[in-house]
Structure 1
């Protein structure tokens, strides 16, 4: 077995400096430094162009330089993507192309003539239009969710889209969940989970948010490097897989995202966390989004509103309005405000259109407050949170006691290190995670 691991680095254009700084320090810088310190570890990365710009703006040029060093070594590859992270299946085709082109220009700015071979659609949001555009723009492969495949994925072959011919790589869902949730936090647990597959001629393809390692899961950045350095499971770049697995199978994938759940497939709402027909806020958000796109595109001289629209259609605002279980009225408001302001900056936009945008903005915010006041957010989040826990810490009590204790030791070592550096907030996060794991040990 060989392992192709994919990590996604991204922060929204509206993200505050304090959070970019914190996540960069807790996660991105640690992961990249870990890769530099472990030259045998190879990873496919997506770094959306907006994050590269934020790194430059907020004084993290050393992180950009680390990416360049890893590229020069051939230790990583970068994928193409959409610069400001919109949910591609929900926007017009020429807007998809524009976002991809903006991202390509940004990669060229920081890394010269580097040409990505693969394409990562934000949120891993796949449909036939996204596949077609990716193929037309010169990408040879695209990554998609395992549930997009209408059957059971065989990891001893390569898949190609029946319609476009673009190569498809399907994320292995279960193993990805187990790694990001900390269930496979040691080399022994990882190898035991793979079992006899380690000796088979197949590949493991995992894909996860980069922020998981060190930010959402303190200490997991070190655990990741331990796994990526295992001699028993050599790591490769995704682009290297086709030459190692010559068997090709044609397939017609279903629309999907990496947050897709089986119940969403049954209801035929693959993008439910961003565009749920039963979510009143989502409906209004998308009405405002479509109004902004239409107003800018219909203007002969959109002025600053063109660049404002590029930034304003990022996917986060819809995600945080899902309450499945994630909810942030601040992120919802900020996204709606940017869309409203985009419309207000179109010089020739009619007064009634600008008023319509204000009304939609007001409706989004007041509905959000009502959901909080009436307990709607808690109701939705409770149901979803219970399902998500099936994929995260729910399996930890069943792990061997000595392996959980080994995970705790990793965290304790890091807590001592950050305490010496007077990073007390970070130490508190590590302490809380140690307490969680201690509870599992005590259940033994």
Structure 2
């Protein structure tokens, strides 16, 4: 069996230097150094162009250097993407192409001309067929998407074969496995032994496991999880490969007609025909205003003379303002941030105001939308609407992620806790007390999980089958 793992590294263009350095110290640097210590490990990475620039500007050149060495050694491959992480299905084609080409320029700046388009990662795995068509036109050979992009009437996905997009000759589409990705990033599979156990009979078949996760999860969001990731990599029963190498091992190919989806999609969203609901929900008034403001900015810069003073500043401002974070944090499903909502609306309204020759009417409309977005967000927060949304969504997520998941054996939980305690002692000795507190919280989380296991009378010899494939 083969394991093709994909990690996504990204920070928004508005991220503060202190946070860039913190996340780098906790996630990016440990992951990259861990890969260098394990030369047999292969990983497909997306490192967004804006993150590379942030790493450079914030004094983290060592991480870029290590990434370059891993790339030159063939240990990692780097996918293309959109530089400032916009949700591509809702942008005009010329804006999509621009974002992709800006990202390519940045990748070549840091990794040289040896980087060439192969795989493509649409931000948020926000995919529709038009995105695939653009990627193929630009020379990409494959795209990675969520498994819910696979047509429902043809499920389950057969991971003993590869797939291409219907109508796009020789353009592969790879579907990430949701459940296995979740149990790894949630810490419910923390060792190679447990991974192989969870795969059950699949381990003896000629199949591939394709997982995809945010890189920041390993060490930043979940302290200590980066070490567990490497324990899984060190498991000798599964050969890890780059996604681009899968055609070397699997010759059978079928064509499919993928459906629009993201990697945060839930089945109920598909049923309601709202595949992008966390970024553009027609029932979310803030989303509707955000996208009206976005479209106003995009349309207003069209046809403007590029030689006019101020054009380049406005164009650069728009490129950066299209990042997906502002819509995500306005979803209240359950994620919510007044700061990010306000900042995103300000970036877009400022962009409109900066456009040379823009009419007073459009400037006024941009400012009206900015104020309406902020007023509505405050009103939702004061009235308790956000709390109601979040409670409902938390319950939906809990039901989805808990269903059918295995419980870790007690001895494995203890191993994880012991490693975290050792790490906590080490960082405390260095007086990194905030980091120590994060690790302490993770230990407490595992202790609560351990108590739940005990209540369920689960043991290594228990009668519950440890198999995620069914």
Alignment TM-score > 0.5, same fold:
yes
Taking the TM superposition and a 5 Å limit, the aligned residue runs for 1:51-66 are 51-66=51-66
Instruction: Give the distance between the partners of 2:45 and 2:28, measured in 1 at CA.
Output: 11
1:308 correspondence with 2:317: yes
Instruction: Give the distance between the partners of 1:332 and 1:298, measured in 2 at CA.
Output: 29
Structure 2 equivalent of residue 211 of structure 1: 216
Structure 1 equivalent of residue 467 of structure 2: none
Instruction: Give the distance between the partners of 1:384 and 1:342, measured in 2 at CA.
Output: 33
> Are the counterparts in 2 of residues 8 and 209 from structure 1 also a CA contact under 8 Å?
yes
1:200 correspondence with 2:201: no
> Are the counterparts in 1 of residues 27 and 219 from structure 2 also a CA contact under 8 Å?
yes
What RMSD, in angstroms, separates the aligned Cα atoms of the two structures? 1.3
Of 279, 286, 290, the residue aligned with 2:291 is 286
Instruction: Give the distance between the partners of 1:55 and 1:168, measured in 2 at CA.
Output: 30
Structure 1 equivalent of residue 338 of structure 2: 329
Of 409, 413, 420, the residue aligned with 1:404 is 413
Deviation, structure 1 residue 18: 1.4
Structure 2 equivalent of residue 227 of structure 1: 232
Structure 2 equivalent of residue 3 of structure 1: 3
SS at match of 1:304: helix
TM-score when normalising by structure 2: 0.93
SS at match of 1:77: strand
Taking the TM superposition and a 5 Å limit, the aligned residue runs for 1:257-276 are 257-276=262-281
The alpha-carbon distance between structure 1 residues 282 and 334, as it changes in their structure 2 partners (threshold 3 A), is same
1:149 correspondence with 2:150: yes
Instruction: Give the distance between the partners of 1:173 and 1:57, measured in 2 at CA.
Output: 35
Instruction: Give the distance between the partners of 1:2 and 1:390, measured in 2 at CA.
Output: 30
The alpha-carbon distance between structure 1 residues 221 and 188, as it changes in their structure 2 partners (threshold 3 A), is same
> Are the counterparts in 1 of residues 117 and 139 from structure 2 also a CA contact under 8 Å?
no
Instruction: Give the distance between the partners of 1:361 and 1:4, measured in 2 at CA.
Output: 43
Structure 1 equivalent of residue 105 of structure 2: 105
> Are the counterparts in 2 of residues 148 and 255 from structure 1 also a CA contact under 8 Å?
yes
> Are the counterparts in 1 of residues 39 and 75 from structure 2 also a CA contact under 8 Å?
yes
Instruction: Give the distance between the partners of 1:380 and 1:428, measured in 2 at CA.
Output: 29
Structure 1 equivalent of residue 434 of structure 2: 425
1:442 correspondence with 2:446: no
> Are the counterparts in 2 of residues 183 and 393 from structure 1 also a CA contact under 8 Å?
no
Structure 1 equivalent of residue 242 of structure 2: 237
> Are the counterparts in 1 of residues 121 and 143 from structure 2 also a CA contact under 8 Å?
yes
Length, aligned pairs only: 444
Instruction: Give the distance between the partners of 2:80 and 2:313, measured in 1 at CA.
Output: 26
Deviates more, 1:240-249 or 1:388-397: 388-397
Structure 1 equivalent of residue 19 of structure 2: 19
Instruction: Give the distance between the partners of 1:128 and 1:58, measured in 2 at CA.
Output: 37
Instruction: Give the distance between the partners of 1:331 and 1:396, measured in 2 at CA.
Output: 33
Deviation, structure 1 residue 394: 7.7
Structure 1 equivalent of residue 167 of structure 2: 163
Deviation, structure 1 residue 439: 1.9
The alpha-carbon distance between structure 1 residues 378 and 219, as it changes in their structure 2 partners (threshold 3 A), is same
| CA deviations over 1:284-339 (Å, ceiling 9, x no partner) | 00000000000111322333111111000100000000010110010011110000
Deviates more, 1:410-419 or 1:103-112: 410-419
> Are the counterparts in 1 of residues 427 and 433 from structure 2 also a CA contact under 8 Å?
yes
Instruction: Give the distance between the partners of 1:69 and 1:408, measured in 2 at CA.
Output: 33
The alpha-carbon distance between structure 1 residues 97 and 213, as it changes in their structure 2 partners (threshold 3 A), is same
| CA deviations over 1:254-295 (Å, ceiling 9, x no partner) | 001000100010011100000000000000000000000001
Instruction: Give the distance between the partners of 1:202 and 1:3, measured in 2 at CA.
Output: 9
Q: Which runs of 5+ in 1 are unaligned?
A: none
Instruction: Give the distance between the partners of 1:231 and 1:427, measured in 2 at CA.
Output: 32
SS at match of 1:398: coil
Deviation, structure 1 residue 124: 0.5
| CA deviations over 1:322-365 (Å, ceiling 9, x no partner) | 01011001001111000011011111000110010000000000
Instruction: Give the distance between the partners of 2:179 and 2:141, measured in 1 at CA.
Output: 26
> Are the counterparts in 2 of residues 228 and 235 from structure 1 also a CA contact under 8 Å?
yes
> Are the counterparts in 1 of residues 188 and 407 from structure 2 also a CA contact under 8 Å?
no
> Are the counterparts in 2 of residues 293 and 309 from structure 1 also a CA contact under 8 Å?
yes
TM-score when normalising by structure 1: 0.98
The alpha-carbon distance between structure 1 residues 336 and 136, as it changes in their structure 2 partners (threshold 3 A), is same
